[in-house]
């Protein structure tokens, strides 16, 4: 028995330790010209084209100077003002040939063919519509941060999907199978929470909320899956990009200036596309896992 235990111990000492993934980011391209407060980056899966919402001058105002730009994933501008007639556009997602964007108190649909606005759905009483997500059936979801609500839009009509302080003022949304991932800002009606938000999972059927990060994590904004079972999340206020494992372990992978906003991520290309909103630039990073 002692001999067997000694062999086991020796084998364990000789085996190399399993290294944890430690993602790093390397800049591969930067776009600054033509962008004014870029908030959300989204790669439309069928065309592979990149769409970026620009808030424009001002914030949360109906000033009419917001727009959406179209680029390729090499960072080359294809149409600076591909879609106009917007106020302060933020979250982007597509479904059934339409690109949807949140815009203050309404959700606007634009044709992917030409960028023309096809639909405006005003959500009565909405305070600050932010990110947009799409379900597999084409249902569109949008977060209202200060109200700590999520609305669903289907067949041109909206309904309240979920609400409550346990949503922790959701900012980023992402439908992932039978759950919705929430990048929470931290509950506060004035968007100045005493306690930062966490990465949460919302059961799409029961509406039960389960924290992925158990402790306050940050004023979270963008959320994307990393293709390896984990998540890439931004903290807008602190200027961070973080990797979060499925069991909630958080690793800082980029410390930048405030306003790291709603990013896109392409696992096959190892490409992370990040709007630096207040710096008026969009950066493509090679996402490296050692």
Instruction: Tell me the domains of the chain and their CATH numbers.
Output: 18-289 (2.120.10.30)
Of the listed ranges 12-21, 29-38, 277-286, the least confidently predicted one is 12-21
Per residue in 55-80, pLDDT (tens digit) is 998 766 688 999 999 999 999 999 99
pLDDT at position 13 is 42
Q: Which one-letter DSSP state was computed for residue 16?
A: P
Listed in sequence order, the residues at least 6 apart from 48 whose beta carbon sits closer than 8 Å to its beta carbon are: 72, 73
pLDDT band at 2 (very low <50, low <70, confident <90, very high): very low
Per residue in 117-151, pLDDT (tens digit) is 999 999 999 999 999 999 999 999 999 999 999 99
Per residue in 148-199, pLDDT (tens digit) is 999 999 999 999 999 999 999 999 999 999 999 999 999 999 999 999 999 9
* Distance, CA of 137 to CA of 17 (rounded, Å): 44
Alpha helices in the chain (DSSP H): 2-14
pLDDT at position 124 is 97
Per residue in 205-242, pLDDT (tens digit) is 999 999 999 999 999 999 999 999 999 999 999 999 99
- Helix (H), strand (E) at residue 252: strand 250-255
pLDDT at position 230 is 97
């Amino acid at each position: 028995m002692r001999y067997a235990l000694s062999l086991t111990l020796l084998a364990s000492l000789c085996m190399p330790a399993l290294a944890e993934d430690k993602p790093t980011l390397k800049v591969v391209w930067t776009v600054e010209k033509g962008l004014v407060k870029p908030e959300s980056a989204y790669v439309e899966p069928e065309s592979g084209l990149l769409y970026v919402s620009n808030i424009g001058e001002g914030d949360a105002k109906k000033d009419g100077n917001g727009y959406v730009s179209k680029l390729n994933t090499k960072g080359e501008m294809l149409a600076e003002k591909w879609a106009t007639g917007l106020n302060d556009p933020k979250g982007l997602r597509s479904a059934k040939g339409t690109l949807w964007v949140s815009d203050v108190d309404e959700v606007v649909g634009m044709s992917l063919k030409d960028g023309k606005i096809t639909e405006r759905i005003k959500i009565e009483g909405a305070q600050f519509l932010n990110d947009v997500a799409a379900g597999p059936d084409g249902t569109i979801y949008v977060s209202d941060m200060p109200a700590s609500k999520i609305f669903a839009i289907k067949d041109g009509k909206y309904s309240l999907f979920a609400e409550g302080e346990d949503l922790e003022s959701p900012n980023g949304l992402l439908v992932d199978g039978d759950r919705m991932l929430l990048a929470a800002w931290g509950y506060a009606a004035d968007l100045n929470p005493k306690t930062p938000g966490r990465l949460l999972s919302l059961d799409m059927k029961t509406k039960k909320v389960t924290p992925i990060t158990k402790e306050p994590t940050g004023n979270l904004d963008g959320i994307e899956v990393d293709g390896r079972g984990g998540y890439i999340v931004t903290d807008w206020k602190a200027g961070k990009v973080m990797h979060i494992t499925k069991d909630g372990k958080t690793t800082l992978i980029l410390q930048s200036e405030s306003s790291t906003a709603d990013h896109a991520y392409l696992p096959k290309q190892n490409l992370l596309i990040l709007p630096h909103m207040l710096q008026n630039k969009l950066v493509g990073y090679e996402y490296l896992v050692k």
